[in-house]
Structure 1
Amino acid sequence: MGILNTRKNKKYSYTPRYYKGEGNPFELKHKFDEYRVTVGSDKGLKNKLNNALEDYKYNDDRSGANRRILIIVGVLILVFLFIIDFDLSIFFSDR
């Protein structure tokens, strides 16, 4: 048992007696998996990072979530600077 290797789950060929649906009833799958590129058994940090960057680049952001996150982060930074009494006058010159 290695430190970096993860253990694979055992697979059994059990089928339920009264199941008449399609596919495997025991398959655990997230409802957005078919839309994601980053979900899978890609090995290595480089492949995961490249897939995440491609997904971010080519994903249409129709709801404006990225802009909303930037606004929220900006407001939180300003609140934090206000709480610690940061002096913003160091960014402005007194000419």
Structure 2
Amino acid sequence: MGILNTRKNKKYSYTPRYYKGEGSPYELKHKFDEYRVTVTNHKGLKTKLNNAIEDYKYNDDKSGANSRIMIIIGILILVFLFVIDFDLSIFYSNS
């Protein structure tokens, strides 16, 4: 058992006696799983990162959350540069 490996759940082939529905009644599934790309069990950091970027690019954002996150990140970067007393004059040419 490794430190970084997660433990897989055990699977049993139990079927309830009086259940007549479709599929398994014990299946745990999130209600948005069929709409997401990033929930699949892909191994590797590169594959997960590429899936997250594709999901971010091609997701229809109706609430403006993606632009809101970019604005918050920009403000935090400016606050950080102000705290460390960054000099912006290095970007201007002195002729």
Same fold (TM over 0.5): yes
What RMSD, in angstroms, separates the aligned Cα atoms of the two structures?
Answer: 3.1
Determine the structure 1 residue equivalent to 2:92.
none
Task: Give the length in aligned residue pairs.
Answer: 95
Counterpart CA distance in 2 for 1:41 and 1:31 is: 17
1:23 partner amino acid: G
Determine the structure 2 residue equivalent to 1:14.
14
Q: Normalised by the size of structure 1, how large is the TM-score?
A: 0.69
Counterpart CA distance in 1 for 2:23 and 2:41 is: 20
The range that moved more, 17-26 or 65-74, is 65-74
3-state secondary structure, aligned to 2:4 = coil
The range that moved more, 13-22 or 57-66, is 57-66
CA separation of 1:10 and 1:32: change in aligned 2, threshold 3 A: same
1:50 partner amino acid: N
Equivalent residue runs for 1:29-68 within 5 Å: 29-68=29-68
Give a deviation string over 1:26-80, Cα, whole Å, max 9, x none.
Answer: 1110000000000011111111111000000111112222234455667889xxx
Identical columns (%): 84
Gaps of 5+ in 1: 78-95
Q: Normalised by the size of structure 2, how large is the TM-score?
A: 0.69
Determine the structure 2 residue equivalent to 1:27.
27
CA separation of 1:46 and 1:70: change in aligned 2, threshold 3 A: closer
2:4 partner amino acid: L
